[in-house]
Chains A and B, each alone.
Chain A
Amino acid sequence: MATVRYFAAAAEAAGTETEQVPAEDLGRLLDQLAELHGAELARVLSCSSVLHEGRYVSDRSLPLAQDAVLDVLPPFAGG
């Protein structure tokens, strides 16, 4: 089970800050998240970056370990 941590607009769209989702790779994980939570989260995901073990990942074929933790980061707006 991968652990997904949502931030800001992603947390609002998902209705939660964290959840566990079974997925073998990044692509299938993202597809599942959009399916679970609907169009608004899909929209947020489409412009978010994903942080995995301290690095930004975008390759959908990236394999995910059972204990993987992924952070969904919407576009930054500091300043």
Chain B
Amino acid sequence: MMARVTDDQTIVAGVQGHPLSVDEALSAVRHPRAGAVTVFVGTVREHDGGREGVTALSYSAHPEAESRLRRLAESVAETDEVRGVYAVHRVGELSVGDLAVVCAVAAEHRATAFEAGRRLIEELKEGIPIWKRQQFDGHDHEWVGL
């Protein structure tokens, strides 16, 4: 986990093995200049790709995942009016309903918070080297995206 805090804004990015906290994200991006905070929470669902019966899954990450996530968060933080960016992904064994990723963006106004928040999660999914292995109740498994 890395955090860069200045008077102008806060940037937090990380990959962690323990449960994520939405409260932590909200307090990290809190800023007196911000009038809007958007939060995205990705959770483990019991179905995927039209198939039911996901019982558990595990996320793993490349050693460079955290530094790449930090660069993405810094890039989103360069957006005009953005005052805080938080992006932390969970790794390890997760159950249905667990939080897999928490992203938050604080901005002066809501349009920026929504747009920058959307960009953050989309680019995280697209470009950060993290993998998901899904376990089904029939004991077989699959790697998502393969």
The chain A residues found within 8 Å of chain B, CB to CB, are 7-9, 12, 44, 47, 51, 54, 71, 73-79
Contacts and interface: CB of A to CB of B under 8 A. Distances in A.
Chain A binding surface SS class: loop
A78 B62 contact: no
Given A8-B60, A79-B121, A79-B125, A44 B131 contact: no
Nearest to A43: B146
B62 A74 contact: no
A75 B146 contact: yes
Contacts of A54: 64
19 contacts: A7-B62, A8-B60, A8-B133, A9-B131, A9-B143, A51-B62, A73-B129, A74-B143, A75-B146, A76-B127, A76-B131, A76-B145, A77-B125, A78-B101, A78-B131, A78-B132, A79-B42, A79-B89, A79-B100
A52 to B, nearest CB: 13
B101 A75 contact: no
A76 B133 CA distance: 11
A35 B89 CA distance: 35
Residue with the greatest number of chain A CB neighbours at <10 A, chosen from B61, B100, B101, B143:
B143
Nearest to B122: A79
